[in-house]
Structure 1
């Protein structure tokens, strides 16, 4: 049994063509309130299970977060970066004391498993990819699912060793993801489930980054992911030089922004739509939702130089320009944490005039 099989048994579910999971099961706006109250959502996730005495120090040495001394029951997240600091994988971690449970987005587990296996060398680490189901909630499920591995999201609080460039959006956000055997997930009453649209709306309103915001150029600073997924004082790992250099001496070339969209035009905004300032392209929409209190909202990644007070528009595939108000997440001033003052060039130093021959 799979998450798709469970989804097929949920009455009135409108299923996503790609994942086969419910987008909504009725009113997606009301489902956001249900999700905050403890309803569950079937998530498009895959799971790895890492065991062995070298698991924590080994993963600590190759990813962005400090995980070498996790306490049993602790949750955190970490990133796999390319050698030049671009995001390749995002890992949600829960340590039970005898196993490290890794939750990743659907479709990424095989590539991650292959890379981890290559990086294992002689380390005493076993890597499994079991067929499991992941359910999420913005409420409290500690009672009924207390015995299952449960990743608790730390966002928007700053993790030890991390830093936040911007201010939290102000939207309350509490999120957890629980790993279940398919047989156990199948025993949950169908009316307990809501759709993924509700989960997306809460995440977007909180300014919480995900792989949806990542392209082949993305570095963590652009998404404010140094808040929970990067430890700035730990030892070397792949991509660490870029992380340190951009934070201390440079600035991220792009920045994430929360857009409040004009819903009066009844236009369909979608991920990938161009964000413009007048006729000038500034970036692109990455995630879109209808929030139960904020209305139509989106996350977008724009150029760092885009003025923070600039009125923007989203240019849709139908050619409609939808007005979009910025809510600052990563400010244009991000970075430059330890940039030394500029010294005058030697050639620019004025020399005293030579004495006259007269």
Structure 2
């Protein structure tokens, strides 16, 4: 038998850990279509339960039974997802129909800019524009970009189904743990679940509320300038704001580019960009830090790495889920002595990890 301090034992443990990590990554990639709706449903349930608890603190709704509050929150969640899916499908069809107009506006704007520098005197200018611009087939690009709307609607539908059953069965989850595990293991599992519920639930609920505010501000700006599909872009900005750092940039970039294609005016585009960026900066630098604080104990470097890993596995949905999923992994590791050093490396506040570990 190998002793715990034996170098060979440590090496074998490391090799097995690497193999297990690679195997889990392979399963996540291969089982993406099955696992993604489940993870989305689990993350959504955290938001729904936190919202249900918030309703319980209100004067009138707080008198309702718990099952009724959860049903009300679930109904609002399903209605919001149905509206989101309808907006996405309707917008995809309208965008494809208007792409020739956008391409013509961009061509006219490019011609006007070049004419300001008397470049129109070059004999083959028009041919050059047609050659370069003609190679960019917006219809084909849009068809590829929006072609996943149907699969996304399927993922949303499955997430709704899973969320409904998870909400219905959550009440008996504690009893199942107590019956399935020994007393000490059940107590430790309850501690882990409690920490995850407290950290992830509060973070996601407040983050969702902040993103709704950002979406409303963006909708007002886009509607004020008459930008096409303002509701769709406002929803997209709110969703992408779940992605730290790069999400706000992506959220502003798409509607700004559409404004340029719609109006063919740099002045209008710059004004829209400034207003949307101002809303993003106010939310990101003033509102969000005040409301969210430090509910997620991860260092900025770990946040970037988790974004890179989950987005490479599941694309944009993976980037949106990156912070909650990585935080859940860190909380689980913090509650076991053998994996607590890894949780310390992931954490931004090391003392918080020790406090959580002592609570067990």
* TM-score range for the pair, normalised by the shorter chain length: under 0.3
| Greater share of strand | 1
Which structure: larger Rg? 2
| Greater share of helix | 2
TM-score, normalised by the number of residues in structure 2: 0.23
